[in-house]
Structures are given as structure tokens and as C-alpha cells.
């Protein structure tokens, strides 16, 4: 079986590749691409594999944009951090999915399912899947949070949040009034639950709100240094791969 992996996190892609080949040593990984553009170019040059493993969120946009640029008729297993609404969309369309972090037994089950589906060759409407995913997403934005401070419980609206960040491996939320609380969410979870028009993940350690931006400065390698309000004790600089998307988001 020839499998192509679309994943923008190198460590995750390498781990998935090893898992696949450990499950079945006859599997051949035909390529690993990390973006919409590189995936389209690879498929045009090398053709379609038997199966694609595809992350939904890529560094340059949604993987569903790939289907707008090239005809993909082979089965796809999506990897996602989406909530239950997205999962329902996959199930309705007989498309399998794996929630991150991926587990070996779930990957084995997904491969077995696609071997059966591949015999029947079902018609897949990826545009329909994309529309189903987008609709509930608008309804599922996080709008309130609750934190525990000692024996006290505090609740606040997302509109009160300035930014989220990691410090000493702990995820914190900073409110516009300057208060700071540790939270149980990971930034990966938050990224998929926040309104992308109001919040943007500039690097692995920061998700900033538009209202929290005080000043912007050019930085080395085309990056952007962000001065936040309220000020943060951790330096906030956009990563090289996120900087072009950050500029688009700002405009």
C-alpha cells in the first residue's frame, strides 16, 4: 500500500510514518508534505497514492483547499483536533478520522476500514465535508472560561482575554485587566476553539488577541516582534513559518 502523509509538524509526521510501517511493513510512504502548495505540487508530479493521511490544519490554511486545486479520488484518513461536530461530519460521509495524539490501535482500525472501503470505492464529496465542518465551527467557539484559584472559582468571558501563552511548560491566560491564571487547556486545543478573526497563534507558545497588540516591530528572518498589553514577561515573536499568515491576519 502506497501512502502519502500531509502534516505540518515534522515530529508528528515522522511518528506517523514509523507507526504505519510497524503495523504493516509492506506499506510504502510515497511522500511527506507540510503545506497545501507542496502537497499539490507533489501529487501533480508523482500522482495519487493508494491512501492519504491528511491533517486538517496546515501552516498555510485548511487541507480542504487541496481538493480545490487537484482532483483527489483516493481514500483519505484525516487527523484532527476538532470537536464532536466535525467527527459527526466524517461519520456521515463514511470518512475515517484520528484524533491527535494518534494511537496505534486506532490507526490499525482505520487502515482495516479503508481496505474494505477501497474495495467498494465509495463516492466522496469533500466539498460537502468542508461545508459541514465550517457550519458547526461557527457555533462552537469558546466564549467563557472557568479557572480555580485556591478554593475559589473564577469565570470570565473570552472578550476579557488579552492572550494565552506558555511559561515554564504551564499554559496561562492573561486578561485585559492584567490578571493571570494557569489553565488546563493546551494551546493546540485553544487554537481550534477560538474565533480566528479575534485570536491568532503567532508561534508554539503564544496565542494573542487582536486587542492585545500594543506595538509591532520587524525582526530577523522576516519575523515580527509583538509588544503586548498588558505586558508579558515572556518575549512574543512570530515564528518564521507563521509570520506570512500573521501579516495576512493583521490586514
CA geometry: angle 223, 225, 231, nearest 5 deg: 160
Task: Kindly state the cell numbers that stand for 166.
Answer: 506558555
- Mean pLDDT of all residues in 112-130: 66
Q: Are 31 and 43 in contact (CB under 8 A)?
A: no
Q: Are 32 and 11 in contact (CB under 8 A)?
A: no
Per-residue pLDDT at 91: 47
| Pairwise pLDDT comparison (109 vs 95), residue with the higher score | 109
**What are the residue boundaries of the structural domains of the chain, listed by start?**
2-139, 144-250
Q: Please tell me the distance from the alpha carbon of residue 31 to that of residue 28, in angstroms, as a whole number.
A: 9
Q: Which fold has domain 144-250?
A: OB fold (Dihydrolipoamide Acetyltransferase, E2P) (2.40.50)
Task: Tell me the per-residue pLDDT of 25-53, one tens digit each, with 9 for 90 and over.
Answer: 999 999 999 999 999 999 999 999 999 99
72 pLDDT more than 90 = no
Q: Which uninterrupted H or E stretch holds 197?
A: none
Bridge-based pairing state of the strands 2-6 and 199-203: unpaired
Per-residue pLDDT at 113: 82
Q: Please tell me the distance from the alpha carbon of residue 164 to that of residue 249, in angstroms, as a whole number.
A: 17
Q: Tell me which residue has cell 500573521.
A: 246
Q: Tell me which residue has cell 490586514.
A: 251
- Mean pLDDT of all residues in 14-25: 93
Q: Please tell me the distance from the alpha carbon of residue 242 to that of residue 246, in angstroms, as a whole number.
A: 6
What mean pLDDT is reported for the chain? 85
Per-residue pLDDT at 62: 80
92 pLDDT more than 50 = no
Q: Which CATH number fits domain 2-139: 1.10.1200.10, 3.40.50.10490, 3.40.50.2300, 3.10.180.10?
A: 3.40.50.2300
Q: Are 8 and 79 in contact (CB under 8 A)?
A: no
Task: Tell me the per-residue pLDDT of 219-244, one tens digit each, with 9 for 90 and over.
Answer: 998 999 999 999 999 999 999 989 99
Q: Tell me which residue has cell 476538532.
A: 82
Per-residue pLDDT at 193: 87
DSSP letter, residue 241: T
Q: Are 108 and 115 in contact (CB under 8 A)?
A: no
pLDDT confidence of 135, banded at 50, 70, 90? low
Percent residues over pLDDT 70 in the chain: 84
Q: Please tell me the distance from the alpha carbon of residue 214 to that of residue 141, in angstroms, as a whole number.
A: 25
138 pLDDT more than 50 = no
Task: Tell me the per-residue pLDDT of 144-177, one tens digit each, with 9 for 90 and over.
Answer: 999 988 888 899 999 999 999 999 999 999 999 9
Amino acid at each position: 500500500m502506497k501512502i502519502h502523509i500531509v502534516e505540518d509538524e515534522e515530529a508528528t509526521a515522522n511518528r506517523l510514518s514509523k507507526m504505519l510501517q510497524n503495523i504493516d511493513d509492506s506499506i510504502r510512504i510515497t511522500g511527506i508534505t507540510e503545506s497545501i502548495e507542496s502537497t499539490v505540487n507533489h501529487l501533480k508530479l508523482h500522482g495519487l497514492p493508494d491512501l492519504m493521511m491528511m491533517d486538517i490544519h496546515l501552516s498555510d490554511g485548511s487541507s480542504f483547499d487541496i481538493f480545490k486545486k487537484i482532483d483527489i479520488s483516493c481514500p483519505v484518513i484525516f487527523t484532527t483536533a476538532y470537536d464532536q461536530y466535525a467527527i459527526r461530519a466524517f461519520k456521515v460521509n463514511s470518512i475515517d478520522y484520528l484524533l491527535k495524539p494518534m494511537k496505534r490501535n486506532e490507526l490499525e482500525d482505520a487502515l482495516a476500514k479503508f481496505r474494505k472501503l477501497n474495495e467498494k470505492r465509495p463516492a466522496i464529496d469533500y466539498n460537502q465535508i468542508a461545508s459541514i465542518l465550517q457550519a458547526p465551527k461557527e457555533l462552537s467557539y469558546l466564549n467563557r472560561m472557568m479557572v480555580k484559584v485556591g478554593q475559589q472559582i473564577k469565570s470570565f468571558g473570552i472578550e476579557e482575554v488579552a492572550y494565552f501563552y506558555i511559561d515554564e511548560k504551564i499554559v496561562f491566560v492573561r486578561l485585559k485587566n492584567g490578571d493571570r491564571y494557569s489553565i488546563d487547556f493546551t494551546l493546540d486545543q485553544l487554537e481550534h476553539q477560538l474565533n480566528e478573526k479575534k485570536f491568532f497563534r503567532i508561534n508554539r507558545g503564544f496565542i494573542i488577541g487582536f486587542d492585545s497588540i500594543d506595538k509591532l516591530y520587524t525582526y530577523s528572518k522576516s519575523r515580527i516582534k509583538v509588544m503586548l498589553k498588558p505586558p508579558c514577561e515572556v518575549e512574543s515573536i512570530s515564528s518564521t513559518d507563521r509570520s506570512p499568515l500573521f501579516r495576512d491576519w493583521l490586514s
